Amino acid sequence: MGKLSIDFAEDILDMLPVGIYIFQDGRFVYVNHEICRITGYTREELMDMDPFDLIVHEDERAEMMLNTEKALKGEFQGLPSEVEIKIRCRNEDIRHVSLRPLVVIFRKRIAIITFVRDVTQEVTDREKRRKLEEFIRLTGKMIRHDILNHLSAVSGYLELYSEKKNETHLEKAVESAENCIKTLKRLRELEWLIEEGKEMREISVREVFESIRTGMDVEVQIQGNCCVQADDGIYSIAENLIANAVEHGGSRDVAVTIMKKGKWCEVKVADRGKGIPDEMKSMIFQEGFTCAEKGRGTGLFIVKRLMEKYGGEVWVEDNKPSGSVFVLRFRIA
C-alpha cells in the first residue's frame, strides 16, 4: 500500500465516532482522533507511553496483559470478546471504556486492533439506576414493615386508652408515633444516597458533630476539625454513630477526634460501651443486620453507603479498655 493510501485510510479512521488503536510489540503503533479525545493525550504522547499504564486498577491491568499475551499467541479460547475497564486520562481524569479487540496482521506482522467506546455516562447511569432501585427496595420494605406496624400500634393503644383511660396506653401510643417519625426520617436519609454529587459542598466536620450533639442526651466531646466534601447526609452519619454508641453500645459519653492526614480527614467516634465482638465487625454494616431486639439494621448500612458516595470509607475498631471506635475517612475539600 502506498503512502497516499495509508494517509487516506487514517483520515477515514479519524472521522469515525469510535476509538481505534493498533497494538504491536508492546506499544501503540496507531491511534485515531477519538482515542486522543477520550484520553486527552496527543498521538505522540500515546505512542511514547506504555499502553497498560493507562489502566487504573492493578487487577484489570494484569488481566489485560495476560489476555493480550494469549491473543498474540493465538490462544483465543476463553478470551472475552468485549471488556470494560477504567482508564486514567490526562489531568487524572478517570473514564470507563469498552474495548473490542481483534487480532490482525498489520504491516506483515501480528497485531491487535481494538475498537474503543467511552461508556462513562452509561456506567454513571447504571449506578444511578442501581441506587434508585436500592432506595425503592429499602423504602418499600420500611414502609410495609415499620410504618404500618407503628401506625397499627398507635391505633391499638388509642382504642385501649379510650376504653380504659389508662395513661400507660396513651404513652405507648405517643412512643409508637415517635418511632413512626424516626422511620420517616430514615427514609430521608436513604434519599441522600441517590442525590447527585453536584449538590456536595465544603462542610466543617466539627460543626456537624456540634450540631448533632445539641439534641442528644449524651455527652459528646469533640477535638480538632477539617473541612470535607459532602452533602447533608453527613449529619445522618454523625447522628447514626452517636445514636449507635448510646442505644446499642450502652455508652454514656462519646469522644469525637477529627484529624487531617494528607489528603484525608480521619474522624474517630469512640465510646466506652460494651463493644462489638470480632466475629460481628464485618457484618454490622450489612443491610438488615442488628443485635438489638428493636431496630431494622439500616443505620450503619446507611453510614457505609454514604461514605462510599463521598469517596471515603468507614470501619470499626476496639476501644481500650472497653467500647468501640468507628473510623471515618473523608476526602479533604
Overall number of domains in the chain:
3
- Interatomic CA distance for residues 146 and 139, integer angstroms: 10
Residues 205, 190 share a domain: no
Read off the pLDDT of each residue in 220-246 and give the average, rounded to a whole number.
89
Confidence of residue 1 (pLDDT cuts 50, 70, 90): very low
Read off the pLDDT of each residue in 275-291 and give the average, rounded to a whole number.
83
Question: Does 276 score more than 60 pLDDT?
Answer: yes
Question: Does 97 score more than 60 pLDDT?
Answer: yes
Q: Cell 444516597, residue?
A: 193
- Interatomic CA distance for residues 282 and 316, integer angstroms: 9
Query: What pLDDT, on a 0 to 100 scale, did the predictor assign at position 264?
Result: 95
- Interatomic CA distance for residues 227 and 213, integer angstroms: 18
Residues 166, 242 share a domain: no
Let me know: does 189 contact 161? Beta carbons within 8 Å: no
Confidence of residue 4 (pLDDT cuts 50, 70, 90): very low
Query: What pLDDT, on a 0 to 100 scale, did the predictor assign at position 274?
Result: 86
Cell of 199: 449538590
- Interatomic CA distance for residues 100 and 112, integer angstroms: 10
Question: Does 186 score more than 70 pLDDT?
Answer: no
Residues 251, 329 share a domain: yes
Return the minimum-mean-pLDDT range out of 8-12, 125-129, 261-265: 8-12
Which residue among 133, 159, 194 closes a domain?
194
Which residue among 144, 173, 194 closes a domain?
194
Residues 333, 230 share a domain: yes
Residues 144, 113 share a domain: no
Which range marks the domain in which residue 214 is found? 199-333
Question: Does 293 score more than 70 pLDDT?
Answer: no
Would you tell me how many other CB atoms lie within 10 Å of the CB of residue 247? 15
Residues 328, 215 share a domain: yes
Query: What pLDDT, on a 0 to 100 scale, did the predictor assign at position 148?
Result: 79
- Interatomic CA distance for residues 145 and 179, integer angstroms: 12
Residues 258, 158 share a domain: no
Residues 323, 257 share a domain: yes
Question: Does 3 score more than 50 pLDDT?
Answer: no
Query: What pLDDT, on a 0 to 100 scale, did the predictor assign at position 142?
Result: 62
Q: Is 112 helix (H, G, I), strand (E, B) or coil?
A: strand
DSSP state, residue 280: G
Question: Does 87 score more than 70 pLDDT?
Answer: yes
The torsion angles phi and psi of 75, rounded to 5 degrees, stand at: -95, 85
Confidence of residue 215 (pLDDT cuts 50, 70, 90): low
Which residue among 118, 138, 172 closes a domain?
118
Cell of 116: 474503543
Residues 143, 36 share a domain: no
- Interatomic CA distance for residues 65 and 85, integer angstroms: 13
